[in-house]
Amino acid sequence: MAKRGKLIIYLGYAAGVGKTYAMLREAQRRRAEGADVVIGYFEPHDRPDTVAQTRGLELIPPKLVVYRGVEFREMDTEAVLARRPQLCVVDELAHTNVPGSARAKRWQDVELLRDHGIDVLSNLNVQHLESLNDQVQQISGVRVRETVPDWVVAQAEEVILVDLTPRALLHRLERGVVYPPERAQRALAHFFREGTLGGLRELALRQAAHVTEARQEEPAAAPAAGRDRVLIHVTADPESAMLIRRGKRVADFIRAACLAVHITAGEDTPNPEATAAVERHLAFARNLRIETHAISGGEMAEELVNFARRNRITQVFVLGPERRRDDDAGVELIRRLVRRARDMQITIVARRRTRPASPHQ
């Protein structure tokens, strides 16, 4: 069986900072050293300087997919596998493939290439990192729909920060380097505001620092008794997606095992919509490589604490009560949980001021 391919990710905080350009320059360097390099997918965005970096590199033609009468270009992963290069360049790691594709996400295509021993260069903006989704919305007011699980980035051989000051990026935008004039004006009026870009840049710098620190530390052993273990209480509430992200990010930072549990109280009457919502949340948690459990029992707080003790949990993450109305049940759950779990840290996560349109896009 072929040795698994390596992944190198070029990380930025917005379109136009130079991720694709830097990635292609590295591909050219590898080619000059004799490596067998192909471009699996490239999005030119009408940027002449970036397009120029593709000269001399073999391009695997994209697959043309028709969906609802519209033709889309997607990476032809099977053609790349048949070609079997040493190194494949794949633009826009967070991209969602057209419905009906063999894999839903481009990062899954990249994982398949790596499974076949092909090294990959790819790129990503920090706002597409799943655990930062809620923070990005607070900074920008935009809910990013295309995300990559943190574990994909964590297993990369190298994460290279491509940085540019917000003022320099805005200058590029104003000169038409990033987008055509009309699109650039729309961007300047919305996402590309200096305050927003500054906040996103700070997130990218912190993420790069975290990755560097993790690389310098010894690989963590499997969590043992006495080490932190994080539990996330999952319900049908749409805010559970935010809670899952928060708990998983904390678990990753402290290198703790992370579990998620949904508890159906004995008196609860099954509700099809609520059941479907819980299943989506648990599937979302599994996609982030969180161990999930669904149990039935009696009183909610008692069952939650009993489960936590059986699994040697040290930190429990729960949603705070509803903001817009009296949430007696939510308040009572937290009171009972705090009384019963005096040997654990209970983190009550406040809800956002507005409801998300959809928790898992």
CATH, residue 199: 3.40.50.300
**pLDDT on residue 323:** 62
Residue 192 domain boundaries: 7-216
**pLDDT on residue 347:** 93
Q: Where are the beta strands (DSSP E) in the chain?
A: 7-12, 37-41, 58-59, 63-67, 70-74, 87-90, 119-125, 158-161, 229-233, 257-265, 291-297, 315-319, 345-349
342 and 249 within one domain:
yes
133 and 25 within one domain:
yes
Instruction: Say whether pLDDT at 108 is over 60.
Output: yes
53 and 20 within one domain:
yes
Average pLDDT over residues 18-47: 96
235 and 212 within one domain:
no
Can you tell me whether residue 98 is helix, strand or coil?
A: coil
| 85 band by pLDDT with thresholds 50, 70 and 90 | very high
Can you tell me whether residue 119 is helix, strand or coil?
A: strand
Average pLDDT over residues 117-135: 95
Instruction: Say whether pLDDT at 352 is over 80.
Output: no
From the list 127, 95, 99, 124, the residue with the least C-alpha distance to 108 is: 95
Which of 216, 239, 260 is the C-terminal boundary of a domain? 216
C-alpha distance across the termini of the chain, in Å: 35
149 and 32 within one domain:
yes
129 and 33 within one domain:
yes
Encode pLDDT of 189-220 as tens digits.
888 999 999 999 999 999 888 887 776 665 54
At 338, list the tokens.
């705090």
The CA distance from 109 to 121, in Å, is: 13
pTM of the model as a whole: 0.80
The CA distance from 126 to 117, in Å, is: 27
Instruction: Say whether pLDDT at 245 is over 90.
Output: yes
258 and 124 within one domain:
no
233 and 207 within one domain:
no
The total domain count for the chain is: 2
The CA distance from 141 to 127, in Å, is: 12
171 and 245 within one domain:
no
The CA distance from 4 to 164, in Å, is: 33
CATH, residue 286: 3.40.50.620
Average pLDDT over residues 127-155: 91
Average pLDDT over residues 348-360: 61
316 and 211 within one domain:
no
Average pLDDT over residues 120-125: 97
Strand pairing of 70-74 and 63-67? antiparallel
Which of 161, 182, 216 is the C-terminal boundary of a domain? 216
Residue predicted with more confidence, 220 or 307:
307
